Amino acid sequence: MNGERELGSSLFDTRRDSSIPTVRSGREAVPAALMRRAHLEKLQLCDALERIADTLPRVDCLACLAAANAIVPLLRNIHQYEETVIFPAYEAALTSSDANLASTRRLRAEHVEDECFAGEVTEILLAIGHGEKVDNAEAVGFMLRGFFESLRRHIAFEREHVLPMIGVVD
Ligand SMILES: [Fe+2]
């Protein structure tokens, strides 16, 4: 299965069922497998965007359209899950560190920024996926790289600092 099919077959929001293994942290039960799956899907999206950026000005129209269709719903679903399940569990597991509470405020702010940026990236990918000529490949590549590199940094922070605190380890 190639990357585009994987993006198009995201099942993130349909996998919240009782068969998912959970880990315990304080009073909360966190579906560890779901969180790993969420980060995996975001990283697959980043990889797909990197392949698009690397081949510009050549364009794989189907890859662009697949990524364009996946970006916003994928990020919205994952962000909602993190903000309603993961971050509250993380905050409940903290002792008394304002710096750590500031972390979740920053992560929530990054979610908003990423969703706004996702809208712009989607527009560009839809345009070139529908055959619009790429006039400035360098600018499009710069935009895509800025987006997926930001997503990767965000995921790395959550994997290194947030998830271990709630018992989700790679
Ligand atoms: Fe996040």
How would DSSP label each residue in 66-130? HHHHHHHHHHHHHHHHIIIIIHHHHHHH--S-HHHHHHHHHHHHHHHHHHHHHHHHHHHHHHHHT
Distance 46 CA to ligand 1 centre (A): 14
Burial (0-12, 13-18, 19+ Cβ within 10 Å), 34: buried
Distance CA 37, CA 44 (A): 10
Distance 44 CA to ligand 1 centre (A): 15
pLDDT for res 98 = 56
Domain boundaries, the chain: 31-165
Cα–Cα distance list, 81 to 102, 114, 135, 139, 170 (Å): 19, 15, 38, 32, 19
pLDDT for res 60 = 96
Distance 142 CA to ligand 1 centre (A): 22
Q: How many C-beta neighbours within 10 Å does residue 46 have?
A: 20
pLDDT for res 26 = 44
Span 107-116, average pLDDT? 97
pLDDT value at 94 more than 50: yes
Distance 128 CA to ligand 1 centre (A): 28
pTM to 2 decimal places? 0.81
Distance 149 CA to ligand 1 centre (A): 14
Reported as a pLDDT band with limits 50, 70 and 90, residue 111 is very high
Span 87-109, average pLDDT? 82
Reported as a pLDDT band with limits 50, 70 and 90, residue 97 is low
Distance CA 19, CA 126 (A): 36
Span 128-154, average pLDDT? 96
**Residues bordering ligand 1, an ion, CB closer than 5 Å:** 82
pLDDT for res 167 = 81
26: nearest Cα among 95, 89, 104: 89
Q: What is the pLDDT of residues 9-19, one digit of tens each?
A: 453 443 444 44
Distance CA 141, CA 57 (A): 9
Distance 155 CA to ligand 1 centre (A): 6
Would you state the structure tokens that stand for residue 103, as one six-digit string?
Answer: 């972390």
Distance 76 CA to ligand 1 centre (A): 10
Distance 114 CA to ligand 1 centre (A): 9
- Determine the Cα angle at 130 with ends 51 and 71, to 5°: 50
28: nearest Cα among 98, 102, 74, 94: 94
Reported as a pLDDT band with limits 50, 70 and 90, residue 22 is very low
pLDDT for res 165 = 86
pLDDT for res 9 = 47
Q: What is the pLDDT of residues 32-71, one digit of tens each?
A: 888 889 999 999 999 999 999 999 999 999 999 999 999 9
Distance CA 46, CA 4 (A): 11
